[in-house]
Each structure stands twice: as structure tokens, then as C-alpha cells.
Structure 1
């Protein structure tokens, strides 16, 4: 820490000296370089000096340098969903967004965003020092948060959101933006971006072509409130428009969303980026425009300033010449973009921008790692705890840890993630917790969906090429294996994972490259062996010159296998070809033999355990963005069924038959239907994708060193029969606000190892319409353990002639109480919390009675112990 402070001090001195020198001499080649001028004046001066071609080039996400003016290149594309993502540097990784939503803690989320922005600043500073400032994933413009409403649990990207509720999403999103952007009156710490605007939540395979339709009521009651909060109140720097169309127009060219609401009603002055490749969708998929020029002109006239992922906007030069758009309209967009870069301090001396002085020591600093653990603990939701199965005792003689997620480091990181120096899986966390005195046995037992899995064998000693041990690796600086390799080397095996932009070999980076791996495998036995290839994005395996596996398409962690018949002593030439075209890069060749698991035999092996912990669920290997997944129950990154895969239920049935206590730890980015488990497994913990410290947090909860208090930010339905068609964007019978059935576990639900009681509700009997209202309640920890409670306030209202939610969250606060301790919690209801939405989407402030319910869950949540909720009636008067 002393080194970090010294770095900041010296940087400040150098910066001040440089700035003072420049100011004294007042030598600026152009006014835009003068930091004493207003940002608006500087931006106007800079843009006035650009040619049309230079302006248009700045509207691509990878904006080139303008050398004649000393403007460096800059790539706008960066991600910070739960820690800085996809960067080549090691970073702190927090729980996935859906897990952070389960904390119901705006303070924790704001601090996470603050810490992530600091790490992002350190990365940006390092990139400048290393000459990488124009690369992707090192910039300060982050395309986060994802504040789409998680309306359907089948959507694979729902894990990136803050759940199904507009109010929870708005409050958490606001906290994130404030933490990320900082509080400096002039400079942004980093620039947040609210996405995907709007009415966007799958299905993933159809996102480039589907046309979302929603009533004006649903639009303003469900889909827009979070965006409005971030734009109007949080002052988010950017907005990303979505791929899909809305009411017949691509979102990035929508009259309603872009011109009427975003720019006119909300008066948004920040920048808008398209989702990546969305402008191409105008003319390639939606077929609303004939070509790139017309699509690009229309998008810009609707306020879309950046074309991400393609070069469609290059056609704007011709569009101006054709009279389809004026250069003055181009100027508007370019000025917005440079305004953000100036607000980030990119053209000012270091001494003037406190954030620019951030040292590299903040990367994975102790406070950041501690907060990742805190949020992982806070995210854990105790769904069931029959007969006080939990917490477990630490002095048990034997514990069995079973399941596909027990030792899976991929699952805990979620998607849109960075890579930390250390990842703690559930297995490792449990081992660390109990110590050497307890025997911990582990078996994977099954994949997520199948009872047959590859039992790996170490074959490194059987690989050689031209007399040298290992594998000949050739790397190409293109995705087609063309020309001469830029590097050739011998490697011990084929097992790689690179973040995008990370060095692969020499000067070649992990972006748009390919590789060929060649080796001879010498069989030690006569029989067979199975080779499994896993990787992003495309690969193929040739054995003795014949192609046996072909996944030469974007595969996203896909795995394929080939069974080779062998003769002892015979050599087989293996050639594995691989390419990567963006995102993370990984390629692995493993060997072994498939075996069908015998669940009864497994249960017999672990029946002497004092406790059995099954760690299952699903994984970002199965759900996520536009994925190619060939597994039952999954399609394109989405799910076709929300039921827990049957193989896992079958395995737990066998484990329960041992008579030993079984604990189900479920990892997921979305709601999973677990009807059998809810009836038969005594203890269930929903652990989400909890980040780098997931295993530690899981063990802390299982063994009672942390009293869980997470709450579900989504409804856990009983089964697929509860869900309307996936492509239907009506909110009828969706989410806790409109679902008329009985959920398995409701939104806001979560248990504790202690109990809480509520009393002394303070609520005015009457209030004027369109006025704020203060409500308070006393909460007491009436149990035997210290713990945390998430106090939730819901409003229920019926108004003749108007549609209203069954109930709606309008306040929440996470508090810590020692046993026996009480605290008064107050909520300030805003006028907009009490309005109703008319059929045309307008907000109405109407008289009438409103039921106010405050407790540890929804008003219909009943528990056996203690007074869990208080209710009162508020009369609104004209």
C-alpha cells in the first residue's frame, strides 16, 4: 500500500509540474488541448477540425488515431458486469449480476462498482504505459449494466440482469452507475452504459430477427422504469440499443424508443452505441433497409452514435454525398463521443484527473478481494432447511461432495467475466473449512445432463513429435491457418485459456488467430481411448489424416469427442486445428474413456459419510449469449425447459436413499424448477455463480460461519407449465407482479438461521396524491443467532378502470441485527411509487386506498415462526 501511495504522490508531482509548465507558457497548438476551456468549447473546436471521413471513423467502436491532431486511437468496447471483464490482466471477480441482485444491497453493489472502476483505471493506465491504449477491453467506457427485465427464466442472458422486478433493477442499476462513474464534479471515473434498450430478453437464437411487441402499459410499467431511472436520475453516460425490432422498427432506429422517449422526453445527452452487429441487422435480418448507407443514416438520425462490431457506418460518407443525412447530423454524434472522452480526462494532465493517478496495485487488492467474498456470502439464498439440517458441524468424520459443479471453476465465474489469480470452488472451500480432521471424498458422478462422462487419463507421456516430447504448436495471425505461422514451438500438451487481447506467443494477441497442434500418440494398450476437444470458437481433429471431429463454427465452450481403436505400441498422428474470432480463447485436448455412472454403487460408497453435499444446477457452459449448445433442455444459450436436468434428480434420489442428510447446493444464473428436491431434500442453498470466492462463501454458509440472508430476485416456478410462450412479451401471468399461480419459491424469498419479527408500523392514514410518504417499522432479531434481514416494502392497489400489479416492491433495505436487537427501518415513498399506469402508458396520480406491507418477503409469504409482516392502509386524497 505504501508503494501505491508513493506512486500516486510522484505521479501527482510530475503531472502538476508538467501542467504548470504548459499553463505558464500557454503553448497549445489548438484550443481543444487547453484544459482551462470548457469541455463543450474544446469538443466544438476539435470536431470543427475533422474531415467527414475522420468524423465517420470516430463513430466505429474501434476509433482510429487522428495523428495530425495528436488524437490517439480508442476502442469503446469494454465490459464490467461483475468486475472488469475480458481484460488480459488478472482482476477481482465478484458474483454474477443475478447473484449481486440477490444481496438486495445497494451499498455493496455501489462499492463493487467503485472498486471495479478503480481496477479499470489501473488497467487503462497500464495499457497506456505498455502502448496498448487503442486495444479492446482496456478502455474506460463500459457497456454495463444490463438492466433488461428478466421476464422469462428460459433466457440464458438473464444471469447478467438484476432480476425480474423493475424497482429492484432500477435501484441496483442506479447504485452501480453511481459507483462506477464516481462523484467528481468534472471527471468520470469510468463511463457506464445502460443496456439493452429496450424490450429485450430473448430468445437468443432469434435476437437478430424478432420483433418485440408490448402494450404501452407494459412498456412503461415494466420495461422502461429502470432505463428512466438511470438516464434521468443516475445520469448514466451511455445507452446501448438492442438487436431486436420494436413495433416494426429496429431498436437502434426506433421512433418511439430513441427519438420520442430517450432523446425528447428524457432529454438524454449522452452517447448511444448499437449492440454489436445490430446496424447490419437493419438490412441483413430485419430487412427494413436496403443497404448499409440507408441503415446507417437512419440509425444516426435516431441518435445511435456508435456502430459496434462492423463497419456499416463507413457508408455514412456516401450517405452524406447522397443527401440521406447531413454532415451536421454526423457532427452531433461525434461531439457526444468526444464529450465522453473529455469527461474521462483522456486529454488532460494526470495531475488534473485524480482517477488517472490510480496505481496498478489496486488490481486484486485485499479490500477488493474481501468485498468479493462479502458479496458472495450476501448472495447465498437458503431455500430450505428442514429439521435444522444446516448448519453442519465442522468436526464430522466424513463428508461426501458430489456433483458436476462441485469442482467447476468455470461455473463460479459466470459470463462476461474477468480472470482472478485464485478461484475457490465449492469442493476447495469445504476442504479449507473442515481441515485435515475430516475426510472429504469427491466424485463428479455425472455431467449436467447425462450419467455418462469421460474419465480422464493423463496421456502427456504418450505424446511426441519428431522425437521430442509433447506437441508441435504453430500459431497464425489470422483465422484461416493461412500463410506461414508467426511462431512455432513445442508444448507439453494442448491446454490453453486466454482472455481476449492476452499474449498468445511473441507479439501475437488472443484475437482473430488460429493454431495447428500436431503430435503422435503412442498407444500403451490394445483397446480404445476417447479424445475430447473443448474450445472457443472453432476446431477440428484429424487422426492419421482423416477428419474425425468438426466444430468449425462458433462453439463457445463446446466439447466433442472421438473414440479411437488402438493397438499397443502403434503411433497415431493427431492434428488439432483451432481458430478464435473474438472473446475468450480456449482449446483443450483431453483423453480418457466414457463410463456410465452407477448411482446405486456411488451411494453405497458414500453411505458411511456423515453428510452428503450435492453441488449441481447448471452453468454458463450451458446458458449465456447466443451459444451453440448440444444438450437436452438447452438451445442457443437459452433453455427449453426450466426443470433441473433429470440426471441430477436421479442422482439425488440415490443419495437420499442412504438415509444420510443430503444438502443440495444449486448453482445457476436463473430460476430452476426443483419440485422433487423441494419435497425431499432437507436443505437447499441457491449459490448462483458467486465469483472467485464462491467456494469459501458456500462453506461459510453450510457450516454456520455466515448466516445467509440472500433473497430471490426472480420467481422460482414449479415447472414449464407455469410459463407463457417465450416469445410473448406481454407481462400477463409473468413474474411475481402478475403471476396468478403458486410459485415454488417466490420473488424476495429466502430463509435464515435466525428469526425476525415486525411491529410498530408508522404510516400516515391520509396523504395528498402526488406527494412523498414516509413509512417506518421496527424489526427485531427474535432468534438465537446474529443475522441479517432484507426488509421489503410492497404496495398493493386496485383502481377501477386501471390495470395494476398484484403487488409491487417499492422499498428494501438489508440490515444486520444481533440476537435480541431491534432497529427502526424507514422508507420514503416517492410520488412515482404511488402512481398507476394508464392503458396509454401515462402515469396517473389518483386518490384511493393503498395497502402497505413490510416484512421479510412478499405479503403472501407465510412462515411458522414470529410475526413476519405488518400491514397498513394509506388513503390518498385529492
Structure 2
């Protein structure tokens, strides 16, 4: 289509030159974009206009307008693509780096890969969903409560940190060309949206003006005003009785009128349908769609509620001219992305596919994984481990050898993922013996051991499975592709070609084989899938055991034939399925501990994964509900095993993978070392090993408060910020926001506060010295406190910088606090200047008596 468009463009420009008539101005790249957009929209019928406001906009062949799907994701690298891509650490881990330059570079690299994929797919005639240049990232909602499963997608609980990282991400993604966007970023979910997942389609959020303007809106404002983000996604929930995508205050007064946002707004997927299906604020699709467009929701992601706009026009609910205003915003983005111009005019059109997973991108994924790791405890300097003094290491736990946990959610597939076990094994080589015991699953006490043999599975006399693929989700009609496959073990991106034109979207498949066991006894089949998967044995659908893992048991008889059928359905997004066979046993905590007690050190790799925390999931087990959590403790089965490992008397290092804050009261009191490794992306395992053995000095800092338990938290559905996050929490956390240890020590001194002559700003300088014996990075954090006669934060982050210092080296760090940083939000939501004494704290974390005594924090006052 792009070649055809270029040809049409050339012919029409020729007609302009020869005949002197601009018969098709929108294809003339010499004209201003506004003029081109007006010309294009003016040529469309009402039905064509409406079709272009759906996320899956069809082609308009008579004008040479190519089809375009607005939906793409780039949370921590290009997601859901059939191309191999670089997987960087999850967003919450990027926040833990406190490094805006690293985040900016990550976004540059991700947009390089996205551009290469887009142009390759366009030239091959395979455009579509998850191949476009409009990325619905970043998620800048405030992680106000650690129970929210999607908090892993955010940059944490603080508005300043979130805004700083978000702006860097947007600028890296969108590029700096004066004419063309490299890609389009989208700030989501606007606004006052952070769980629970189970009622997001019905929930009506209500907050006071102070919380709205002090917590929920600042990051969005910064991305719109400072970051120049070109897209915004409105949220599912309502806000004071109006759905967010049709909200007077949020959409019209604040976003468009107050902040002067000129980009496009897309609904969250299905949010417009929620107007009449779940919120019950509108009678039908026509009324809902008209109201959404009138409030500035330009693109509808969903099942096509906007098709009812034609009816809305007939009913007088909206005019065609009002529809035009939204449509023009959408086409302006497409023009700025260069979609209607020859490739030689677009500076990003020749980025080659060789950038995908290139060495620089992989190196940066490792760098960010290292930077993100937070050392929470290191009693008696157990870490770093010395390979020369250790003979045997035991690696235990459900996340130790799990690749999927490192990818989190909204991910693409890299060519290789390094698990923690692999990283440790490669680090020590043959120098140290490494033994591995899974011990338990993530949330249940089953342990599966694979014993798969190809020879046990045959179809029609040949080893393997007969695979039948259908381009529908009901296994209907004749299969579009049939073939013999050796095993069932696949990871496909959305829309990937399986063969013979079958793609992984709205697809189903059946794998058939005959299992002939070579011995009598219980056999366990494991069936992992991202979507619906069913196992039939001898024509009978099997019931699984386990809570999040799919295990199926068979009392097998040696030599007997058991017909097996695997039925799989994939609707959209990534497509994953793996079939395995082995032995299932109940976990024996004491036995596992006994098996590793002769090790010099035990490394337990556990925590959570995106299998149990994420977006509107079906998981409802102890501690978890629909993607959220009802407890912030680590799952009880892991606690049980940790206690037995601790009882061995050997030092236990807890390497924790998580997308949220966990209650670590027992772990912190008993275990000598704790590393928070988050979901580290493709290089996460290598980064863990680098930190454990001292090849990288840990420098991550918490972007969240780690509370003791849910007893510290208000009701999950209460959006008031009272007693939430470090800014308002009056209790004592296990680990505070901004916290993180190092293998070296840093001293702060010579704090100077210099107000400007007009008193509108203050320059703050401090000298930081590495007083330890190891090179390391420090994150200097500046907090401001100004108690008033109305509610203000206890303290608030207003600046941070990451620096590297060698042993004995010093550096003077400078911050400038402007009138914006020296303001507070009053009860009405207005920003007012601070008055009276303003306390400035500068150090390696939030101020505390212990930090001040150790000289890792200094304080001063401004009057």
C-alpha cells in the first residue's frame, strides 16, 4: 500500500505542477499539515470518517489511504510483535533506576525497533495491530496502593518521580525531528485510575481537589505541557458520576482548555461500551459515542461502538462538523508520523531490521536491569559473594529458572532470556558447584519435574503430533493448515504467520497424538497456555489440579495407548502454548531444606509474577483477586519454604521478583540479605548474578513504600491519599520510598541554600563523597517539607540525580528549586507559594535520625 501511495503521490504532484491545480492537497508534502488534513477530511463521506475513528481503521482505496491500526504497546520494549525484540525491565523496575537518561535511551532504542518493524511490515503488505507507530505507553497512573496488579506498569507512587521518568520516556519515543514524529507516545490512563481491577468498569472514583491536583494529575500535566505527548488514553472508571472518556472536568476543562492539549485521545479498549453496558449513564451506543466524541475522545478502541455515530448524527446528538474535529486530530498524528509522505522525506524510514536486538540494545537492557536492582538488606556484608571462598551454592525457588517471570506483562519476545539460575551458573562456571531445587510453585505446594520423551508420543506411526490450525476460534470447518509437529512448544507474537496464511489472531488449533507409557504409574501432563487450552485423554476432557498451573494426572498402564488431544484458542496478543509430561509431587519443605543444607549459601528466588498480578485476570486464590492482591505478603508456600531454609543455619539470600511492594516483616527480621530484582527483562538473570557476586554495585532505589501488611493500608477502593504513600503515611514501613543500600558508603556535606535575588528560586548544592572501598552509583534525593494550616505532604520529592563515584572521590551536586517546586496544593486544588519555614533534606533517601547521624543526609531551612 505504501508503494501505491507513493505512486499516487507522485502522479498527483505531477498533475499539480502541470495543470496548476491542487486536486489532492493532502498528498503534497510541501503544504502545511493543517491544510493537508483539512483537504483529506473534506474528501471523506460520513461513513468513511466514522470508520477512521476506530482503532482498526480500514483502507479507503479510492483516495489511497492505507489501513491503520492505532493499537500498539511499548511499555518496556515493543510488545506483542511477531518480530524478535529487546525486552527491557518492567516499568516499575525502570522507575527503580531513578535514571531519566537511561529511560530516555531505552525509549530511543525501542522506537528504533518499532520503526524498523513498521516499515518492514508496510513494505511486505502485512500492516495491522501491534505493528503501528502509535504506542499506548507510558502508564503514569500513581501506584497509590500496593495491592493494584497493574502497578507494575507504572513508575511508582510519587508524582514527581513519575513525571520525570515519563517525560524522558515520551521524548525518547517521539524523537526530536522538527517535522516528523519518530513515534507517538500515549499517557494513560486518564485519570484517577489505579484499581481495583475487578470493578474498573463500574467504579466511580471520587477525590477531593487537593488529592486530585497534588497526586493524580501532576504527571499527566507534565507529560502534556512539558513532554508534548501526542496521545492520551482515557480510563474505564467514572469520575464523580461521569465516565472518564466523557467527563466534563477531566476531558474538557482540564485537558483541552486548561492544558491546551492538541493531540489525540483514545478510549481504553471497550470504555465507550461501558457507558451504556456497565456505568449505565447512557442509553445506547449512539448516545455514548456522541458524548465521548463531544468530550474529545477521538479514537475508539473496542468493538466498534463508534459505528453508531451515523445514527447519532441522524438523531441530532452530534453534527458531522463536530466529528470532523476529532478526525482531524487523528489524521494530524498520521501525517506527523510520515504515513502520507515518500520514504525519502521521513528521517526514520530507513531504520533497518538489524536494529532488532542489536548489541547496543541488549547491552542497555542489561544496564537497566543492573541499575534497577535494590539491595534491601545486607547483614554483616554477606554480599557480595566471593567465588574464591564458596564451594557450593544452592539455588532454590519458583522464579529461579522461570523465563516468563522476567518478561512481566505487555511484552515482546527476545531471542534469549537469562534466568537467575542461568546467570549464577555462568557467573561461577566450574569454579563453584551449583545445585538447583525448585521447592515449590509460586502459589501452591506442587512440584513438577519434566520427564518428557519424544518416543512416547506418536501419531499414525510417526513421532510427534498432528497439528490442525483454523483461522477461527471454534475449530470450525476444514483446517487451513495441517502438518506433523515434533512437540507442542510455541511462542508467537500477535498476527504471526504459522504457515499457509494462518496467523495467530482469532485462531484455534488441535494437536492430536497417542501416548504410550513405558511404565505403570501416575503421569502428570503440564499444559501452559496464554489463552484457552483444554486437554482430552481418550475423548474425555480432563480437570486440572493446581491453582495457576495446569496439571493433569493420569494413572497410566505400561504399553497401553492413550489418545491425547490438545485444543487451543488464541484471540489476540501473544500466543503461547507448551505441553510437557513428567512427575508431580507435593512439596516437602523439610526435604528440600535437607537437600541443600550442605551448601555454603542458599539463594532463594521467589516473589510474584505476572501470572498472579496484572490486568483484570481470572485468578482468584488465597491472597489474589482478579489481578490484584488481597494480601501483600509473599505467598504462604514460599514463606513455609523460606522458614525451613532459614532453619538450616546457612545464610539465605532472598532474591525477590515482583512488580509491587511486598510485606517483608518476617523476611527482613530474619534473612541476612534481600535483593529486589523486580521483573528484569531479558537480561534480568545476568544482572542478578552481577550484583550477587559484586561485578556490579547495587544502586537501585525503591519507587514504592514497602508496608508491613495490609493492616497499614486504607480500604483499596478509597482513593483518598490520607495515610497513603510516603507523602502521607504516618506509620513505620519495612522499607521506605527512596531506600536502597550499596556495597560502599556515601557522605553528604557542605549543604548550601542560595535564594535568587528575586526570591523566586533557590539553588541547592551539596558535596557527596564515596567513603567506602568500592566504586558505586548514588542517587541523591532532595525532599521539601512545608507544613501548613491545610493538608500538605509530610515531605515531597522535588529533585534527584544519579552519580558515579570512585572510592574517595567527591562531587558537588546542584539542584534549582523554582517556584513550582516551592509551592504546595491547597484544599481547593490551587498551587500556592510555600510560606514560613521550608525544610530541605538532601541525601541517599528520605531523612531519618540514623541517616543524619551517619552523614548520608543533610538538612537545611529556607525562611
Residue 843 of structure 2 corresponds to 855
How far 1:21 moved relative to its partner? 8.6
Conserved? CA contact 2:851–2:857, under 8 Å: no
Query: 405-414 vs 532-541, which deviates more?
Result: 532-541
| Secondary structure of the corresponding residue to residue 458 of structure 2 | strand
The answer to whether structure 1 residue 798 and structure 2 residue 787 are counterparts is yes
TM-aligned CA distance change 1:647 to 1:863, over 3 Å? farther
Q: Give CA deviations for 1:64-84 in whole Å, capped at 9, x if unaligned.
A: 111111110000000001111
Residue 678 of structure 1 corresponds to 668
Count, aligned residues: 855
Residue 416 of structure 2 corresponds to 422
Using the alignment, how far apart are the partners of 1:583 and 1:205 within structure 2? 21
The answer to whether structure 1 residue 247 and structure 2 residue 240 are counterparts is yes
TM-aligned CA distance change 1:630 to 1:469, over 3 Å? farther
TM-aligned CA distance change 1:128 to 1:658, over 3 Å? same
| Secondary structure of the corresponding residue to residue 587 of structure 1 | strand
Q: Give CA deviations for 1:247-287 in whole Å, capped at 9, x if unaligned.
A: 11110001110011101111111000000011111111111
Using the alignment, how far apart are the partners of 2:211 and 2:592 within structure 1? 50
Query: 259-268 vs 626-635, which deviates more?
Result: 626-635
| Secondary structure of the corresponding residue to residue 82 of structure 1 | coil
Aligned with 1:211 (options 198, 204, 208): 204
Residue 830 of structure 1 corresponds to 818
How far 1:22 moved relative to its partner? 9.6
Residue 3 of structure 2 corresponds to none
Superposed, which structure 2 residues align to 1:632-643 within 5 Å?
Answer: 632-643=622-633
Using the alignment, how far apart are the partners of 2:21 and 2:60 within structure 1? 20
The answer to whether structure 1 residue 354 and structure 2 residue 347 are counterparts is yes
Using the alignment, how far apart are the partners of 1:186 and 1:469 within structure 2? 58
Residue 818 of structure 1 corresponds to 806
Superposed, which structure 2 residues align to 1:767-786 within 5 Å?
Answer: 771-786=760-775
Residue 645 of structure 2 corresponds to 655
The answer to whether structure 1 residue 457 and structure 2 residue 433 are counterparts is no
- TM-score, length-normalised on structure 2? 0.96
Using the alignment, how far apart are the partners of 2:580 and 2:515 within structure 1? 12
How far 1:780 moved relative to its partner? 0.7
Superposed, which structure 2 residues align to 1:491-510 within 5 Å?
Answer: 491-510=485-504
How far 1:558 moved relative to its partner? 5.1
Residue 151 of structure 1 corresponds to 144
Conserved? CA contact 2:141–2:189, under 8 Å: yes
Residue 100 of structure 2 corresponds to 106
Residue 173 of structure 2 corresponds to 180
Using the alignment, how far apart are the partners of 2:599 and 2:722 within structure 1? 47
How far 1:24 moved relative to its partner? 7.3
Q: Give CA deviations for 1:583-605 in whole Å, capped at 9, x if unaligned.
A: 11122222223212222222222
Using the alignment, how far apart are the partners of 1:788 and 1:568 within structure 2? 61
How far 1:198 moved relative to its partner? 0.3
Residue 523 of structure 1 corresponds to 517
Conserved? CA contact 2:369–2:687, under 8 Å: yes
Conserved? CA contact 1:158–1:669, under 8 Å: yes
TM-aligned CA distance change 1:589 to 1:274, over 3 Å? same
| Secondary structure of the corresponding residue to residue 376 of structure 1 | helix
TM-aligned CA distance change 1:95 to 1:718, over 3 Å? same
Conserved? CA contact 1:166–1:225, under 8 Å: yes
Using the alignment, how far apart are the partners of 2:133 and 2:738 within structure 1? 34
Q: Give CA deviations for 1:398-444 in whole Å, capped at 9, x if unaligned.
A: 11111111111001111111111111111111111111221111111
How far 1:864 moved relative to its partner? 8.8
TM-aligned CA distance change 1:820 to 1:23, over 3 Å? farther
Superposed, which structure 2 residues align to 1:700-711 within 5 Å?
Answer: 700-711=690-701
How far 1:847 moved relative to its partner? 2.8
Q: Give CA deviations for 1:443-489 in whole Å, capped at 9, x if unaligned.
A: 11110122222222214321122222211111110111111110111
Q: Give CA deviations for 1:46-66 in whole Å, capped at 9, x if unaligned.
A: 100000000000000000111
Superposed, which structure 2 residues align to 1:194-209 within 5 Å?
Answer: 194-209=187-202
Using the alignment, how far apart are the partners of 1:616 and 1:752 within structure 2? 22
Aligned with 1:162 (options 138, 155, 158): 155
Using the alignment, how far apart are the partners of 1:547 and 1:653 within structure 2? 39
Aligned with 1:736 (options 726, 731, 750): 726
Using the alignment, how far apart are the partners of 2:11 and 2:110 within structure 1? 29
How far 1:323 moved relative to its partner? 0.6
How far 1:608 moved relative to its partner? 2.1
The ranges of structure 1 where at least 4 consecutive aligned residues each deviate by more than 4 angstroms after the TM superposition are 16-29, 765-769
Superposed, which structure 2 residues align to 1:492-571 within 5 Å?
Answer: 492-549=486-543, 559-571=549-561
Residue 381 of structure 1 corresponds to 374
Residue 120 of structure 2 corresponds to 126
How far 1:634 moved relative to its partner? 1.2
Using the alignment, how far apart are the partners of 1:449 and 1:516 within structure 2? 30
Conserved? CA contact 1:536–1:558, under 8 Å: no
Query: 286-295 vs 625-634, which deviates more?
Result: 625-634
Using the alignment, how far apart are the partners of 1:66 and 1:93 within structure 2? 35
How far 1:125 moved relative to its partner? 1.1
Conserved? CA contact 1:530–1:592, under 8 Å: yes
How far 1:843 moved relative to its partner? 1.3
In structure 1, list runs of 5 or more residues that go unmatched: 1-13
How far 1:128 moved relative to its partner? 1.2
| Secondary structure of the corresponding residue to residue 582 of structure 2 | strand
Residue 466 of structure 2 corresponds to 472
Superposed, which structure 2 residues align to 1:72-471 within 5 Å?
Answer: 72-133=66-127, 135-395=128-388, 396-471=390-465
Residue 11 of structure 1 corresponds to none
Using the alignment, how far apart are the partners of 2:773 and 2:859 within structure 1? 26
| Secondary structure of the corresponding residue to residue 832 of structure 1 | coil
Residue 613 of structure 1 corresponds to 603
| Secondary structure of the corresponding residue to residue 132 of structure 2 | coil
Using the alignment, how far apart are the partners of 1:427 and 1:593 within structure 2? 21
